[in-house]
Structure 1
Amino acid sequence: MEYFMINTRDDTLIDSEYFLRNKTTGRCLIPANGFYEWDNKGKRKTPYYVHIRESPLFAFAGVYETSSASLDLSYSCSIITTDANEALSGIHDRMPVILDKNDSMNWINPDFDEYLSLLKPYPAEKTVCYAVGNSVGSVENDGAYLIKPVYENKWW
């Protein structure tokens, strides 16, 4: 199987060889309850936690591919990104495509021809974003404390 990127830009998706091979069967949903984005302005990178107001679980638009190069079937997937909404644009210029319930069902429906219209920024007024501690930068750390907000005068 070829190397597959974790993120795929919406503006390059339709031109990719992968998507042309899999456009009706390779769309998937990637469940999440939030994601991190880093602000690179200034001397120090600041991590932010982003989640959806009033929705403990949502789905990213994704694409996947299967490979049976050996006896084992393997899968690879990628989250589709789009332009950042107003809530995130001060931190980063891109964000994952977040789908609401109706759009999620359309995204994975192979008979839905307007799937590219779903690739847009999630509404800013429904997006919550705040700074969190630098502990999120290590895969060794785990726990609910990673999504607790930090304030400018407190670092851990």
Structure 2
Amino acid sequence: MCGRFAQAQTRETYLTCLGDGVDRDIAYDPQPIGRYNVAPGTNVLLLSERAGQLHLDPVFWGYAPGWWKKQPLINARVETAAASRMFKPLWQHGRAICFADGWFEWKKESDKKQPYFIHRADGQPIFMAAIGSTPFERGDNAQGFLIVTAAADAGLVDIHDRRPLVLSPEAACAWMRQDTGGKEAQDIAHCGAVPAGEFTWRPVNRAVGNIHNQGPEIIAPVT
């Protein structure tokens, strides 16, 4: 699953990794985003395509349509989202990308849960597949977005059995295109995913459990 992540660098750092040929309508901002401990129920910068250009909007992390009487959902499984009653419309017309530095997972060790920060071994940003209720620019706090998850494999299974669906930069751009159909999006999710071998992880301070803790020490390794 994905319940916390870091989105701390400048928006330019993330956008540059998508390539020079990407057309975007996003204001330049040299200030770091500085969110080392992003939690559900907050607004998160989300990339999506409108009218052939990429846009960046603060979107509520959580999804609860009017008939849903429970807490908002934050993840959708890649194995079932494209065909499910709840998520199919979002898969068809509400695909987006949530960029990040890495995500957190908790593993039970001894009598406590130890948080780990998982990130690309080469230090590059990650591009997590997301789906949500459009238009994203409306700022709806009930029907926001979800992060798409996949089954963990290789060493990542040691931390958690689910992980965010992280796409390569090329696949991320294709995922967001408005002319990409639902079936094609399934192919992108399958073929464009970054393999588990590209990631590494480290134990971090349990202070990440408190969403008010937002400094860089949150992702610093601990022994």
Residue deviations 1:40-99 (CA, integer Å, cap 9, x gap)? 2532101000111224322100001048xxxx6515000000011313101110000001
Find the aligned partners of 2:95 and 2:169 in 1 and give their Cα distance. 15
2:86 counterpart of 1:18: yes
Tell me the equivalent position of 2:163: 95
- Deviates most, 72-81 or 126-135: 72-81
2:185 counterpart of 1:115: yes
Tell me the equivalent position of 2:114: 46
**Can you give the 5+ residue segments of structure 1 that lack an aligned partner in the other structure?**
152-156
Contact 1:27–1:108 (CA under 8 A) maintained in structure 2: yes
Identity of matched residues, %: 28
- Deviates most, 10-19 or 126-135: 10-19
TM-score (norm 1): 0.83
2:203 counterpart of 1:131: yes
Match of 1:76 among 144, 147, 159: 144
Contact 1:85–1:122 (CA under 8 A) maintained in structure 2: no
RMSD over aligned Cα atoms: 2.1
Contact 2:81–2:91 (CA under 8 A) maintained in structure 1: no
Secondary structure at the aligned position of 1:11 is classed as coil
Secondary structure at the aligned position of 2:133 is classed as strand
Contact 2:167–2:194 (CA under 8 A) maintained in structure 1: yes
Tell me the equivalent position of 2:217: 145
TM-score (norm 2): 0.60
The one-letter amino acid paired with 1:143 is G
Equivalent residue pairs, number: 147
Find the aligned partners of 1:142 and 1:96 in 2 and give their Cα distance. 21
**Can you give the 5+ residue segments of structure 2 that lack an aligned partner in the other structure?**
1-63
Contact 1:26–1:64 (CA under 8 A) maintained in structure 2: yes
The one-letter amino acid paired with 1:146 is I
Find the aligned partners of 1:18 and 1:116 in 2 and give their Cα distance. 17
Contact 1:87–1:129 (CA under 8 A) maintained in structure 2: no
The one-letter amino acid paired with 1:65 is S
Find the aligned partners of 2:157 and 2:211 in 1 and give their Cα distance. 26
Contact 1:60–1:96 (CA under 8 A) maintained in structure 2: yes
Secondary structure at the aligned position of 1:81 is classed as strand
